[in-house]
Amino acid sequence: MLEPKNMSFYEQVYEVVRLIPNGRVCTYGAIARFLGTGKSSRLVGWAMNNSHQVLPSVPAHRVVNRMGMLSGKAHFPPDYPMQQLLEQEGIQVLNDQVIDFNRLFWDPMKELSIL
């Protein structure tokens, strides 16, 4: 599990998503490109869909599309909507759109490539 060789694409997605700092957001494409396959951004969405049963909990609410829109908010539990989870972290959301998305954007390539 700790070996990337044994990790599936979406398992690696979970790891990256867990690394997203509190109050920050990331995109499907950025995660996909960080894992090497920039065109597999849809798989990131599929990974998030399955992340409901994955432990530890994956902060999927911090993952939005390239435009900063909460494209997957409909897939979140009604009790804790995606927007509410983001607002709890101090992220302002208006019309399913993250305010100052460019400033809050956490790029795994940029942040983790340095390591």
Partner DNA sequence: CGATTGACGTACG
Partner DNA sequence: TCGTACGCCAATC
Positions in the binding site for DNA (CB under 7 A): 8-10, 27-30, 32, 37-46, 48-52, 60-61, 63, 65-67, 71-72, 74-76, 82
Nearer to DNA, 18 or 46 (CB): 46
Closest to DNA by CB, 43 vs 98, is 43
Residue 63: strand pairing partners: 26
Angle, vertex CA 21, rays to CA 106 and CA 25, nearest 5: 40
Closest CA to 108 of 9, 39, 24, 46: 24
The residue among 63 and 93 lying less far from DNA, judged by its C-beta, is 63
